[in-house]
Amino acid sequence: MKIIATANQKGGVGKTTTAINLSAGLALKGQRVLLIDLDPQANTTSGIGIEPDGTESMYYPLLGEGSMEEKIIPTRMENLSLIPSGMDLAGVEIELARMDDHLLRLRNLLANSKQHNSFDFCILDTPPSLGVLMTSALAAADEILIPLQCEWFGLEGLAKIVQVIEQIRETGANPDVTLEGILMTMYDGRTNLSRQVVEEVSNYFPAQLYNTVIPRSIRIGEAPSHGLTVFEHDPSGIGAKAYGDATDEFLTRHSVCGPPLAAQT
């Protein structure tokens, strides 16, 4: 099981949207996916059509009470399972901060889960902040995927998250974590700004930058309000195609092949 954290401390960049639709895209490709919602706002949970009740989150497993596997629930999509979130996770930030091993708790839980070989990929959706849950996810992940909006402020955020990843390595909490990729979101090809931001990221991170860009799209934005992935909400739209292409690119990077998404929808 490969553990991928979608991370960006800046909100509104398409992080949760990417976690949901990448997970769905991988599931449609036949990959067994576990999506873990680590954001107390529970947008991933509700965005995939499950009402958060706060009882099935990672709260108790992170505190050493019960197993992570007990919290896994199926979704309506074949191959896609979820550990939901809830407001109780806001409290776990405070409790974990008091523990000497707080950076390793999620890492240890996921290491145990790897032994079961039940999933091919685990996608962690992190809070839009540099708190304990975010850093715990970075310490637990094999790879980091950064969704980055096509704005100049996004470049500042990119520098900060890259710095945090480097700090996680240097502390020894996760010395092998790698920056898997940077996925540009909210791209508007009609503006010079979007093209300039992509070019700037390409100059500094040519190997990590995805060729696929996620466009600005009303359909992408409204899909979570219906509790649907973009593949379900607008399967023939530009958003579904973009996230389908991003999924294909992700799998190519991981040397995994699969049939086109269109053949499975």
Average pLDDT for 109-133: 91
pLDDT at res. 264: 42
Superfamily of 2-257 according to CATH? P-loop containing nucleotide triphosphate hydrolases (3.40.50.300)
pLDDT at res. 199: 95
Q: Is the pLDDT of residue 76 over 80?
A: yes
Average pLDDT for 178-182: 96
Q: Is the pLDDT of residue 261 over 80?
A: no
Beta-strand relationship, 178-187 and 143-149: parallel
Residue % of the chain over a pLDDT of 90: 73
Helix axes 132-140, 102-114, angle to 10 degrees: 40
pLDDT at res. 97: 78
Quickly state the pLDDT bin for 155 (edges 50, 70, 90). Answer: confident
Average pLDDT for 23-35: 98
Distance from C-alpha of 6 to C-alpha of 176, rounded to nearest angstrom: 17
* CA gyration radius, the chain: 17
Average pLDDT value for the chain: 91
| Secondary structure, 3-state, the chain | CEEEEECCCCCCCCHHHHHHHHHHHHHHCCCCEEEEECCCCCHHHHHCCCCCCCCCCCHHHHCCCCCCHHHCEECCCCCEEEECCCCHHHHHHHHHHCCCCHHHHHHHHHHHHHCCCCCCEEEEECCCCCCHHHHHHHHHCCEEEEEEECCHHHHHHHHHHHHHHHHHHHHCCCCCCEEEEEEEEEECCCCHHHHHHHHHHHHHCCCCEEEEEEECCHHHHHHHHHCCCHHHHCCCCHHHHHHHHHHHHHHHHCCCCCCCHHHCC
Q: pLDDT tens digit string along 197-243?
A: 999 999 999 999 999 999 999 999 999 999 999 999 999 999 999 99
Distance from C-alpha of 129 to C-alpha of 176, rounded to nearest angstrom: 22
Label residues 22-61 b or e (16+ Cβ within 10 Å = b): bbbbbbbbebbbbbbbbbbbbbbbbbbbbebeeebbbbbb
Q: What is the pTM of this model?
A: 0.93
pLDDT at res. 54: 66
Where do the structural domains in the chain lie, given as residue ranges?
2-257
Beta-strand relationship, 121-125 and 33-37: parallel
